[in-house]
Amino acid sequence: MSQAPKDTRQSTSGIPIPLAAQPPARPPELSKPGEFPFTRGIHPGMYRARLWTMRQYSGFGSAEETNRRFRFLLEKGQTGLSCAFDLPTQMGLDADDPMAEGEVGKVGVSVCSVEDMRVLLEGIPMDRVSLSMTINATAGILLAMVAVASEERGIAAEKLSGTVQNDVLKEYIARGTYIYPPVPSLRLATDIIEHCVTSMPRWNPISISGYHIREAGSTAAQEIAFTLANGAEYMTHCVKRGLDPNAVGRQISFFFNAHNNLLEEVAKFRAARRLWAGLMKDRFGADDPRAQALRFHAQTAGSTLTAREPENNVTRVALQAMAAVLGGCQSLHTNSRDEALSLPTEDSVRIALRTQQILAHETGVAEVADPLGGSWFVESMTDALERSSREILARVDAAGGAVAAIQAGLVQREIEKAAYEAQLALERKEAVVVGVNAYAEEAEAGIPRLRIDPKIRARQAKKLAALRKRRGAGANGALRVLREVARGSGNLMEPIAAAVRARATLGEICGAMGETFGKYRPPK
């Protein structure tokens, strides 16, 4: 009698998946939620005490249009704001820059000056609603714009709460919206952290992002390892700056991907918390539990959304969101069904928000902290992901840390290899995407799409010309001071804020620093 072929199924990280899980090699951890190493969650009461923040990522066209979308979502029950900026804003270009043509308002909102920011935040109670901003190379400028716009409304910077992504290292790895080379970029990132630790105690000055690493094709273990390696690099720079690791640790946050493999994703979040707690304690000497605890925002996986049969994306997003909640996220964005086709419509973002609300109030998953803790499979997967991530972290450390590993191409090569293997699996139909390489329909019904007004660039250019005409000589003086500080070693946040206050534009501020910092060109 012939034997059945050996079943060698693996997770995305190459971890063997047994048909029936056995007790893990070590007994499940007995610590409680809110206790070191926080495998089971960072708060004792978890969602019984407070639900995760429902933070839909929004931004398109003009500041006026995005402000209307913000208000719409808040009216529908969203509990925090998250702002997407267009590529020119991310790359330090004003809307009237020739390089911005064709991109203004396309993948996010166009913000060229504090005047745009004032409109963007009009009517938003900034002392009561937190704001997250996906912005990196120009993070200090956008943070200064938020602070100045709020200050001009009578809201002090210390009362503002939110997050600025400010994770430039992952831009060199996975995303590409860098401006300056790594060394001055890290200086700027550290300046922002120092500024927030000393002057904006309710603001998270960095959100160290595994999300884009996963979107670039990494495995779950690589997402953990490369994200934490970047986090360790930022912490090292902060400690060298003389900042207290406890103070920094209390204000930094993370941003992870909620991908398709539900049980592996739950284990990924648990393993990441355990690893980061150990790094903060052992490598950086942080002894405050709040500094050791990894707080994270999750977003469902944009790379898994399909243009074919987009209604299937509603199901994908619901299951990915379930993984984030079971894994203990602190805030969550659920993607919209139409994001493989266009920016989402109001109908689509309402469905996405309602998905979170149904999870929170109808499924019962928020009643129990770490509900899958103790599962043989989840505990074994948590241990295996921790081991695999430690091995990757060791390779990064051996290369000299995250910056050296990025400059040597180590990180990029490993992600590219994982992405290539995942694509091969799809093409061979070893991995199934319903409606695309299996169960596909011949013809599909279309859904409405959001269209961006092509005249937005002309309107922004007109506003910029009027701003430059009326602002006076103060902007030039502020930019001159900024250039001097950039040539030295002082913290850049105060001169950036002074330039913002004087109505210097985003492009002018970036250009002033770029005279000293130069531009990054990736190696060929």
21, part of any domain: no
Which tokens in the block code for residue 231? 């986090």
Enter the DSSP assignment of 99: G
Is the same domain home to 357 and 488? no
Q: Residues 225, 292: one domain?
A: yes
- Structure confidence at residue 4 (pLDDT): 47
Q: What's the domain count of the chain?
A: 2
**Mean pLDDT, the chain cut into blocks of 10 residues (524 residues total):** 63 88 73 94 96 96 96 95 97 98 96 98 96 97 98 96 98 95 97 98 98 97 98 98 98 98 98 98 98 98 95 97 98 96 94 98 96 93 96 98 94 96 94 93 77 92 97 96 98 98 98 97 81
Residue 435 lies in a domain: no
In a domain, 397, yes or no: yes
The first and second tokens of residue 28, run together, are 């499940």
Residues 478, 345 within the same domain: no
What phi and psi, each to the nearest 5 degrees, are found at residue 98?
-55, -30
Q: Let me know whether 411 and 463 are in one domain.
A: no
Decide if 36 is inside a domain. no
To the question of pTM greater than 0.85 for the whole model, the response is yes
Give the model's pLDDT for residue 2.
47
Quick one: tokens of 476? 């030039």
**DSSP 8-state class, residue 51:** P
Rg (CA), the chain: 23
> Which residues lie closer than 8 Å to 400 by C-beta, 6 or more apart?
none
448 part of a folded domain = no
Domain check: are 62 and 140 in the same one?
Answer: yes
Q: How many residues does the chain have?
A: 524
d(CA 458, CA 290): 48
Contact, 256 vs 296, CB < 8 A? yes
Residue 522 falls inside a structural domain: no
| CB neighbourhood size of 154 (10 A) | 7
Whether residues 168 and 66 share a domain: the answer is yes
**Helices 506-517 and 182-199 sit at what angle, rounded to 10 degrees?**
120
Q: Which pLDDT value is given to residue 406? A: 94
Return the closest-CA partner of residue 480 out of 516, 427, 443.
Answer: 516
- CA dist 416 and 268 (Å) reads 20
Write out the two tokens for 41: 């969650």
Residues 342 and 476 in one domain: no
Do both 305 and 405 map to the same domain? yes
> What is the rounded CA–CA span in Å between residue 430 and residue 422?
9
Residues 477 and 359 in one domain: no
> In the structure encoding, which two tokens stand for residue 471, read together?
């602002």
Please indicate, yes or no, whether residues 296 and 340 belong to a single structural domain of this protein.
yes
Distance of CA 57 to the CA centre of its chain: 10
110 lies in the same domain as 250:
yes
Here the CATH number for the domain that contains residue 86 is 3.20.20.240
* Neighbouring residues of 58: CB distance < 8 A, sequence distance ≥ 6: 66, 69, 70, 73, 81, 82, 83, 84, 349
- Per-residue confidence (pLDDT) for residue 101, from 0 to 100: 95
| Residue 85 φ then ψ, to 5° | -110, 150
**DSSP state letter for 5:** P
* In a shared domain, residues 195 and 330: yes
Is 16 a member of any domain? Answer: no
Contacts for 67 with CB less than 8 Å, ≥ 6 apart: 119, 120, 121, 122, 123, 124
Q: Which domain holds residue 111?
A: 51-366+374-427
Residue 246 included in any domain = yes
